[in-house]
């Protein structure tokens, strides 16, 4: 798909072909032969990317707000250096579109807050307001309402330098840390990513620091004489109106808050932050909480040479990806555990022997990453023994259910030299996952029953999800794992199957929370339901098959644009991508459609679009942090999922389907 500067689809429709013609190469010698060649090349490519320690990790690409906020942090702390500034600016300029704007995903519409933050970062790098690329950006920003229309987090960054007034930001008192766990809006009502961000921001909100601004930003206001225009209040009878008035009350409290109480609250918050710092110095394995934690502790008197601060700043440097052209991109997070378990599954399903050294080395590394101590999840499940895996290199406070399910499935594909160790780790992971089931029978990503309706209502929370309710994709992966572990008839599994069936859309698809979107959700759920015992003839599966066939692109692939989260016309539609084509194929293969025209066309698309080195190109973002608000391009998705689909096409049992049907019998047998 070609994208215009305003982010709309260009001269092609969402269903149009974006790949080369698939009617040539595979037809010459058969689909299977083409699939075999593609799988062989893909296996070689993936093996070549494994780290010597056993893990895989692809770049995790998001948007330029990560880079801009990294520069703003360095400016705030007084540690800006010319080399970093130049390299970050090189990347940010490279992401600007012709109309002067920045988007939050490839081919997406321009985004105001991202454009403001990128513009300010380039000003820090020395770009002048009258430079043509900067003038185009500022003109577009003013046309959209200026800084006043930006999200809260953007205006917080600007308030740190006096470019916005703290009084005109939502109040977030540190006394929030004292609210008991049964009280509405206590910190454990927020999803873990929001919780880790909000606690340090309560300190920042109380301190309200202002560093001297290196330059004015009058050009980003619609009226520089009235830079902070008042915002209209919602009706008092509405939830929004109620929380707006609560915010006004909290602003009044800020002026009279008892000093001893406030100081005590900030000290408790500081202790909470320090206790959750990981061994590598980061917080939660993700960049935003680390940035705000460093700022909060700095404001509380932790100097830059303090071990906590030094480790925190060093961890932030590890989020940087340096390009060959000298540009520097900041990852919001790193995904080695997720990438490694998916790569292990892909290679095993493609026929790599279960005792292959690469798989054994990957299993060794994954076993070493198991988390065997309680984290914040234990607040809701205090009696549950630990035993899960996180997404990142270091994140012991927040193992996640999705990773744990997939790691278990990956470990079961390996004939390990210490089967007792592997079995024990798998048993702990399955037990912990069962214990994290929410009351409705499904699973969220990090916490159980994290479903309060209140956090998303706060004026402060205007960017993405701040709670972690159960989702179909995570629940499906858990069901698949439990079925593989012989627990298909376990009461918890049956409750989850019932929940999944109730979540199916009238179209036959399932919503995708952590991947884009209905193609991902459907590609996750169908294999899980088959693994749990539903026959391919089940009405829900037939409906899903018909939906996938109906949204297949003319070129044989599948694609779904991120705009499907907001616009119905994009559901199931978009330029074909390798990862989304693979997700659709995984569902169709699990449902017994191996000989169907849709599957053959999809396999042909994968075979034909593979590059010479055995990989696939995929500029489109097919992952999500928050649906629509924060999008992710996992650079390894384009490698692992196509190989998994090719492997199951070549070796899987279409009558069984899913991961349970494609696991090598020798792999599991050798683990006992």
Question: What was the pLDDT predicted at 669?
Answer: 33
Catalytic option among 376, 400, 402, 473: 402
Model pLDDT for residues 519-566, shown as the tens digit of each residue: 999 999 999 999 999 999 999 999 999 999 999 999 999 999 999 999
Distance of alpha carbon 21 from alpha carbon 472, whole angstroms? 34
Is pLDDT above 60 for 657?
no
Residue that is written with structure tokens 């012991």 in the block: 396
Query: Given pLDDT bands bounded at 50, 70 and 90, which one contains residue 29?
Result: low
**pLDDT at site 458:** 79
Secondary structure (DSSP) of 114-161: HHHHHHHHHHHTT--TTSHHHHHHHHHHHHTT-GGGS-HHHHHHHHTT
Asked if pLDDT for residue 13 goes beyond 50, the answer is: no
State residue 434's pLDDT score. Answer: 98
How many angstroms separate the CA atoms of 612 and 28, rounded?
18
> Rg of the chain's alpha carbons, rounded to an integer?
25
Of the candidate ranges 46-50, 142-146, 668-672, the one whose mean pLDDT is the lowest: 668-672
626: CB partners within 8 A, 6+ apart: 463, 464, 465
pLDDT tier at 660 (50, 70, 90 boundaries)? very low
Domains of the chain, residue spans: 35-58+335-368+379-436+471-669, 63-166, 170-212+232-331+438-458
Q: 156, 172, 169: which is closest to 228 by C-alpha?
A: 169
Which pair of tokens denotes residue 3?
A: 């994208």
Mean pLDDT of all residues belonging to the chain: 91
Residue at token pair 């409750």? 495
**Considering the domain 170-212+232-331+438-458 in this protein, what is its CATH number?**
1.50.10.20
The terminus-to-terminus CA distance of the chain in angstroms comes to: 49
Q: Given the structure tokens 């858990």, which residue do they identify?
A: 478
Residue 600 tokens read as: 């053959």
Q: Give the integer Cα–Cα distance in Å for 575 and 555.
A: 10
Confidence (pLDDT) at 4: 37
What residue ranges in 27-72 does DSSP mark as E strands?
60-61
402 is catalytic: yes
Q: How confident is the model at residue 251 (pLDDT cuts 50, 70, 90)?
A: confident
Helix (H, G, I), strand (E, B) or coil at 264: helix
Q: How confident is the model at residue 10 (pLDDT cuts 50, 70, 90)?
A: very low
Q: Is 286 helix (H, G, I), strand (E, B) or coil?
A: strand
Six token digits for residue 628: 């629509």
Cα separation, 370 vs 366, whole angstroms: 7
Closest C-alpha to 244, from 230, 234, 255, 254: 234
Backbone φ and ψ for 102, nearest 5 degrees, come out as -125, 145
Per-residue b or e along 520-541, where b marks 16 or more CB atoms closer than 10 Å to that residue's CB = bbbbbbbbbbbbbebebebebb
Q: Which helix (H) or strand (E) holds 665?
A: helix 665-669
| Location of structure tokens 């089940």 | 538
Give CA torsion, residues 195, 197, 203, 209, to 10 deg.
-160
Confidence of residue 363 (pLDDT cuts 50, 70, 90): very high
Q: Which residues contact 126 (CB under 8 A, 6 or more apart)?
A: 89
Choose the weakest-confidence range: 365-374, 397-406, 531-540, 645-654.
645-654
Tell me the three-class secondary structure of 584-635, residue by residue: HHHHHHHCCCCCCHHHHHHHHHHHHHCCCCCCCCCCCCCEEEECCCEEEEEC
CA distances for 410 relative to 351, 427, 450, 599, 624, angstroms: 14, 14, 27, 25, 22
Each residue's pLDDT tens digit, 271-294: 999 999 999 999 998 988 999 999
pLDDT in tens, 623-651: 999 999 999 999 999 999 999 999 999 99
Over residues 261-267, mean pLDDT: 96
672 pLDDT higher than 60:
no
What average pLDDT does this structure show over 221-228?
A: 84
* Alpha-helix runs per DSSP H in 326-442: 336-349, 357-368, 401-411, 419-435
Q: Do 35-58+335-368+379-436+471-669 and 170-212+232-331+438-458 come out as alike in CATH topology?
A: yes
Buried-exposed string 255-291: b where 16+ CB fall within 10 A, e elsewhere: eebeeeebeebbeebbebbeebbbeebbbbbbbbbbb
CA distances from 445 to 32, 476, 477 (A): 37, 12, 11
At residue 470 the predicted structure's pLDDT band, cuts being 50, 70 and 90, is very high
Kindly tell me if the per-residue pLDDT of 445 is higher than 80. yes
Q: Which distant-in-sequence residues (6+ apart) come within 8 Å of 418 by Cβ?
A: none
Partnered with residue 371 across adjacent β-strands are 388
Average confidence (pLDDT) over 372-391: 96
CATH class of 63-166: mainly alpha
Q: For domain 35-58+335-368+379-436+471-669, which CATH number applies: 1.10.3720.10, 3.30.110.30, 1.50.10.20, 2.60.120.10? A: 1.50.10.20
Closest among 584, 643, 580, 636 to 610, alpha carbons compared? 643
Q: What is the pTM of this model?
A: 0.91
Q: List, for residues 303-362, the tens digit of each pLDDT value.
A: 999 999 999 999 999 999 999 999 999 999 999 999 999 999 999 999 999 999 999 999
> Is residue 603 very low, low, confident or very high in pLDDT (cuts 50, 70, 90)?
very high
CA dihedral 514, 519, 523, 524 (to 10 degrees): 20
């Amino acid at each position: 798909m070609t994208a215009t500067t305003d982010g709309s689809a260009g001269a092609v429709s969402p269903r149009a072909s974006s790949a080369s013609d698939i009617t040539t190469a595979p037809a010459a010698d058969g689909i299977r032969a083409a699939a075999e060649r593609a799988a062989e090349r893909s296996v070689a490519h993936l093996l070549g990317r494994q780290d010597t320690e056993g893990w895989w990790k692809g770049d995790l690409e998001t948007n330029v707000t990560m880079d801009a906020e990294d520069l703003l942090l360095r400016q705030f702390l007084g540690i800006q250096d010319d080399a970093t500034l130049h390299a970050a600016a090189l990347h940010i300029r490279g992401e600007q579109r012709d109309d002067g704007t920045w988007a939050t995903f490839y081919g997406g519409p321009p985004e105001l807050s991202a454009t403001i933050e990128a513009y300010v970062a380039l000003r820090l790098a020395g770009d002048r307001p009258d430079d043509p690329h900067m003038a185009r950006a500022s003109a577009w920003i003013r046309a959209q309402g200026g800084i006043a229309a930006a999200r809260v987090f953007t205006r917080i960054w600007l308030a740190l330098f006096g470019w916005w007034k703290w009084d005109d930001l939502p109040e977030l008192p540190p006394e929030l840390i004292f609210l008991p766990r049964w009280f509405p809006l206590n910190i454990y009502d927020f999803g873990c990513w929001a919780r880790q961000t909000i606690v340090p921001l309560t300190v920042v909100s109380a301190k309200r620091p202002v560093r001297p601004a290196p330059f004015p930003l009058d050009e980003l206001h619609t009226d520089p004489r009235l830079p902070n225009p008042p915002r209209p209040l919602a009706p008092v009878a509405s939830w929004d109106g109620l929380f707006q008035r609560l915010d006004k009350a909290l602003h009044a409290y800020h002026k009279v808050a008892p000093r001893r109480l406030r100081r005590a609250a900030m000290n408790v918050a500081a202790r909470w932050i320090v206790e959750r710092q990981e061994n590598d110095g980061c917080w939660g394995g993700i960049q935003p909480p680390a940035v705000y934690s460093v700022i909060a502790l700095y404001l509380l008197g932790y100097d830059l040479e303090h071990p906590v601060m030094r480790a925190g700043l060093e961890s932030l440097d590890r989020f940087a990806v340096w390009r060959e052209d000298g540009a520097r991109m900041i990852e919001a997070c790193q995904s080695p555990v997720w990438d490694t378990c998916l790569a292990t599954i892909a290679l095993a399903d493609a026929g790599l022997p279960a005792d292959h050294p690469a798989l054994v080395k990957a299993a060794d590394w994954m076993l070493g990453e198991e988390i065997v101590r309680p984290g914040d999840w234990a607040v809701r499940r205090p009696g549950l023994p630990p035993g899960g895996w996180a997404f990142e290199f270091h994140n012991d406070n927040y193992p996640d259910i999705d990773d744990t399910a997939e790691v278990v499935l990956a470990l079961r594909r390996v004939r390990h030299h210490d089967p007792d160790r592997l079995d024990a780790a798998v048993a702990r992971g399955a037990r912990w996952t069962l214990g994290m089931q929410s009351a409705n029978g499904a699973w969220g990503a990090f916490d159980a029953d994290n479903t309060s309706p209140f956090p998303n209502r706060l004026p402060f929370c205007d960017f993405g999800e701040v709670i972690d309710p159960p989702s179909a994709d995570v629940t499906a992966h858990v069901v698949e794992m439990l079925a593989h572990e012989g627990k298909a008839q376990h009461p918890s599994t049956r409750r989850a199957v019932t929940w999944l069936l109730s979540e199916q859309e009238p179209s036959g698809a399932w919503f995708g929370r952590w991947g884009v979107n209905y193609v991902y959700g459907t590609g996750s759920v169908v294999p899980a339901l088959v693994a749990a015992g539903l026959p391919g003839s089940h009405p829900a599966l037939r409906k899903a098959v018909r939906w996938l066939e109906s949204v297949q692109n003319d070129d044989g692939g599948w694609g779904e644009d991120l705009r499907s989260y907001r616009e119905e016309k994009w559901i199931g539609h978009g330029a074909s991508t390798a990862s989304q084509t693979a997700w659709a194929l995984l569902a169709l293969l699990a449902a017994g459609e191996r000989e169907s025209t849709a599957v053959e066309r999809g396999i042909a698309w994968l075979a034909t679009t593979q590059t010479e080195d055995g990989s696939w190109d995929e500029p489109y973002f097919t992952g999500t942090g928050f649906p629509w608000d924060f999008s992710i391009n996992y650079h390894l998705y384009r490698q692992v999922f196509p190989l998994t689909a090719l492997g199951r096409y070549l070796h899987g049992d279409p009558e069984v389907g899913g991961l349970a049907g494609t696991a090598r019998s020798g792999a599991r047998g050798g683990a006992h």
